[in-house]
Structure 1
Amino acid sequence: MASFEVIGGHPLKGEIIPQGAKNEALQILCAVLLTNEPVTISNIPDIRDVNKLIELLRDMGVKVGKLATDTYVFQADSVNLEYLDSEQFVAQGRALRGSVMILGPMLARFGQCQLPKPGGDKIGRRPLDTHFLGLQKLGGKLTLEGNDFYRIRTEGKLQGTYMLLDEASVTGTANIVMAAVLADGITTVYNAACEPYLQQLCKMLVRMGAKINGIGSNLLTIEGVESLGGTEHRMLPDMIEIGSFIGLAAMTGSEITIKDAQIQELGLIPDTFRKMGIQLEFRGDDIFIPAQDHYQIATYLDGSILTVSDHTWPGLTPDLLSIILVVATQAKGTVLIHQKMFESRLFFVDKLIDMGAQIILCDPHRATVIGLDQRTRLHGISMTSPDIRAGVALLIAALSADGRSVIDNVEQIDRGYQFIDKRLNALGAQIKRL
């Protein structure tokens, strides 16, 4: 198990380029299973979860060629269906949350798929009901073996239908869309997710020959086609990493420029950080964050305490609430952080309290943060990263703290952030991988 040794208290300065979007990559890579023609994808992040998915596709029989550091070509013209019964496949599926998104493409093109209950962050209940209910409405027949192995089959082609999703699940919507593009007839999906990553998937499928209307809205209409062709696709920069860098600049009093941020795709992220008192300047498609000695949390017009909560797009992504919470610990003012979607994502605050932060954990979903306004710095401690986003939040806290911190289990951070230690050290951070 690797660890980071962090010597905090040093302001950073310079430019940083965000990696390709992890959450987009997991959808886009699975979509290559929908065609037997080559699909070229660029701006792929070199992170553990994405690399594991590429390895899974290769072991399933997909031809994988690396054209550049961040660019691959995939061709799924000889998928080995028998591999899905192997012990190795079961182990791979259990280790990776993103493996669930092979279900839609495999069912649509080959009429079958099976999968163990996928892994991922331990952040509370993450049911797969939306995935399976959608695929069943299209004609899939689901069999559950034990409590953690799923088989889904179809007799003949999937059939288009109307469905109203019980939740606007991003990965659930992605699975349903990838299945519906090869179904007979028209599929209408209401309460669909409409995050930029889902829009990217739909635009890529359209270039491959799919017929999808309503992209960017929560009402998708998909007319099935006989087959899809190859295409080229470039992924967006990772909005979660962009938000992390904004929070890092504020906490450490640093001057940082985030290059090529695709600002129009960030939704409420910039405005939410502005509510935390952080100055942002847009320079073309770059975000400049000046060094600030202090930043003050806004209040509502009547003077009441600000609440920052997650919501489906275009609301704030839940993946950034850990960063917002850490940023609040050194702000002037008080904020209520409300994590609606996952009941275990705030449990890392005990480490921040040990570092000197003033936080009241109200319940599994809410925490009140009383900012220290830089009057009292956090101090370094030894801690463990519980999941990807909490891990980076703790890393930001350690970089702002006085003294030495050690963060164990940084493999969790590596799952979602590409060479984060090397990239931040280039800005002046002092992070040593043990």
Structure 2
Amino acid sequence: MASFEVIGGNKLKGDIYPQGAKNEALQILCAVLLTAEPVTISNVPDIRDVNKLIELLHDLGVSVSKTAPDTYVFQADKVNLDYLETEQYIEQGRAIRGSVMIVGPMLSRFGIAKMPKPGGDKIGRRRLDTHFIGLERLGASFNYDTPDSFYSVTADKLHGAYMLLDEASVTGTANILMAAVLAEGITTIYNAACEPYVQQLCRMLNRMGAKISGVGSNLLTIEGVEKLGGTEHTMLPDMIEIGSFMGLAAMTGSEITIKNCKIPELGLIPETFQRLGVKMEFRGDDIYIPEMDHYEVDTYIDGSILNVSDHTWPGLTPDLLSVALVTATQAKGTVLIHQKMFESRLFFVDKLIDMGAQIILCDPHRATVIGLNNEIPLRGIRMTSPDIRAGVALLIAALSAKGKSIIDNVEQIDRGYQNIDGRLNALGAQIRRI
């Protein structure tokens, strides 16, 4: 187990480039299974979860060649279906959440898909019902082996159908979408997720020959085609990392420019951090954050306390609630953080309280943060990263704190943030991997 030793209290300065989008990568990489032709993908983040998924695809029989530090060529012309029965596949599938994304394309192209219960962050219940109910609507037969926690779906031929999703699940929408593109007839998905990740997948599939309309809305119509071809695709910058850097700049009083942000794809992320008091300027496609000694949380028009909560797109992504919470700890003012989707994601606040933050955990979904207005710095402690997003929030807290902090289990941070210690050290941080 690796740890970070962090010496806090340093102001950072300089330019930082966000990595490719992790959540987009997990969908886009699995889409290569839909064709036997080569698919080139650029801006692939070098992070643990993505690398494990690429390894799984390779072991499944997909040809993988790395042509540049962030560019791969995939060709799924010799997929080995027998690999789905092996212990190695089960072990790989259980290691990462993204393994669930192979189900739609495998079922669509080969008529069969199997997978163990996927791994990932322990942030509460993360059900897969939406995925498999949607695939059943397309004509698949579903089986769940309860003792082994093993899912399987089969179909001789998928047929288009109308469906109203019970939740606007990003991964559920993507899985159903990838199954529907090769189904016979027309599929209509209502209450579809419309995050930029899903939009990117739709555009990629259309370049491969799919016929998807309604891209960017919550009503997708897919006219099935017989086969798909190869394509080239460049992934968006990671919006979660961009939001994390906004919070980092405010907490450490740093002057930072976040480069090449694809600002139109960020939704409410900039506005949310602006309401937390973070000043920023849009300079072309860059976001400049000046050095701030103090920042103040906004209130509603009637003066009532600001409520920051997650919503389906274009609302704030739940992946940034942890960073928003830690950013509020040194603001002037009070804010209610409401994490609606996951009931275990706020449990990391006990570590922030140990550091001196003023937080009341109201229940598993809500926390009230009373900002310290940078008058009392957080203090360094030893703590453990429970998941990707809480891990980077704790890293931000440690960088702002007085003294030394130790963050254990940083493999969790490595799952979602590429060389985060090296990139932040280049701006003046003091982070040592031990």
- Shorter-chain TM-score tier: over 0.9
Secondary structure of 1:322's aligned partner: helix
- Name 2:380's counterpart in structure 1: 380
- Name 1:337's counterpart in structure 2: 337
Which ranges of structure 1 fall in alignment gaps of 5 or more residues?
Answer: none
Give every structure 1 segment of 4 or more consecutive aligned residues whose post-TM-superposition deviation is greater than 4 Å: none
- Name 1:412's counterpart in structure 2: 412
- Name 1:91's counterpart in structure 2: 91
* TM-score for both structures, normalised by structure 1: 1.00
Residue correspondences, number: 433
Distance 1:292 1:146 in 2: 54
Is it true that 1:256 corresponds to 2:256 in the alignment?
yes
Paired AA for residue 354 in structure 2: D
Secondary structure of 1:158's aligned partner: coil
Compute the displacement of 1:264 (Å): 0.4
Is it true that 1:53 corresponds to 2:73 in the alignment?
no
Paired AA for residue 154 in structure 2: R
- Residue by residue, what CA displacement relative to the aligned partner does 1:235-273 show, whole Å, maximum 9, x if unpaired? 000000000000000000000000000000000000000
- Name 1:238's counterpart in structure 2: 238
Distance 1:299 1:146 in 2: 49
- Residue by residue, what CA displacement relative to the aligned partner does 1:148-196 show, whole Å, maximum 9, x if unpaired? 10111012x1000000000000000000000000000000000000000
Secondary structure of 2:222's aligned partner: strand
Secondary structure of 2:256's aligned partner: strand
Distance 2:330 2:15 in 1: 23
Secondary structure of 2:6's aligned partner: strand
- Name 1:154's counterpart in structure 2: 155
Alignment of 1:296-335 (within 5 A): 296-335=296-335
Secondary structure of 1:106's aligned partner: helix
- Name 2:114's counterpart in structure 1: 114
Compute the displacement of 1:4 (Å): 0.1
Compute the displacement of 1:145 (Å): 1.1
Paired AA for residue 250 in structure 1: A
Secondary structure of 2:143's aligned partner: strand
Distance 1:402 1:289 in 2: 22
* TM-score for both structures, normalised by structure 2: 1.00
Distance 1:14 1:145 in 2: 52
Distance 1:113 1:288 in 2: 46
Paired AA for residue 59 in structure 1: D
Paired AA for residue 319 in structure 2: D
Is it true that 1:269 corresponds to 2:269 in the alignment?
yes
Distance 1:277 1:395 in 2: 20
Paired AA for residue 267 in structure 1: G
Paired AA for residue 295 in structure 1: Y
Compute the displacement of 1:146 (Å): 2.0
- Name 1:40's counterpart in structure 2: 40
- Name 1:400's counterpart in structure 2: 400
Secondary structure of 1:242's aligned partner: helix
Which ranges of structure 2 fall in alignment gaps of 5 or more residues?
Answer: none
- Name 1:294's counterpart in structure 2: 294
Secondary structure of 1:233's aligned partner: strand
Compute the displacement of 1:417 (Å): 0.1
Secondary structure of 2:232's aligned partner: strand
- Name 2:134's counterpart in structure 1: 134
- Name 1:390's counterpart in structure 2: 390
